[in-house]
Amino acid sequence: MVFNKYNLKLFSTNNMSLTNERIQEKLVEKFGEVVHNFSESHNMLSVEVATNENIKVLQFLYDDEELGFQFMTDLCAVHYPDKTGQELQVVYHLHNLVKNVRLRVKVNAPIDEPNVYTATSLFPTANWMERETYDFYGVNFVGHPNLKRILNVDEMDYFPLRKEFPLEDQTRIDKDDEMFGRGGSLLN
């Protein structure tokens, strides 16, 4: 234990270093098959969580004394149009500030029912991040206190960051593909 000058416990020195292996071990021990697809990139552990279990896992990561992921750095989404039944992925970036460890938690949802439970009761900063994610990807955060568009107009009937539209207008005739390095050769 480490104490300050008033003999108040600051933090425990037991298991001060929190490894990705230990995080994975604790998650699998607690949740089993609910957590899967563990991977590591740039020393940050990533884990996928079953859609209907996201809050239980986030609550455990928050409450567990050893894990202590009590700060949400970011919440965003990604659209994978080729992953049938899991087209939308909500990504939480969590941080244990005491041990300086980061964790990425991913939750997949189908595009036809993009329902994910809100994390606003656990992380107040999730409020605006979830609203932005709804605004651009259409993820419905179930239980959110005020889920509405914040950057796009209310009349918008689509979600602009979904990959549902071609990148270029195929009917344009004012573009010469040769100028963009596509089709033909400039040496002719």
Task: Please write the tens of the pLDDT for every residue from 146-170.
Answer: 999 999 999 999 999 999 877 766 6
Residues 18-52: tens digit of each pLDDT: 999 999 999 999 999 999 999 999 999 999 999 99
Q: Which fold would CATH assign to domain 12-119?
A: Beta Polymerase; domain 2 (3.30.460)
Which pLDDT band, with edges at 50, 70 and 90, does 12 fall under? Answer: low
Which pLDDT band, with edges at 50, 70 and 90, does 105 fall under? Answer: very high
**CA pair distance 51, 109, nearest whole angstrom:** 6
Residue 78 pairs with which residues in a beta bridge? Answer: 89
pLDDT at 61 over 60: yes
pLDDT for the residue numbered 15: 46
Q: How would you write 15-76 as a 3-class SS string?
A: CCCCCHHHHHHHHHHHHHHHEEEEEEECCEEEEEECHHHHHHHHHHHHHCCCCCCCEEEEEE
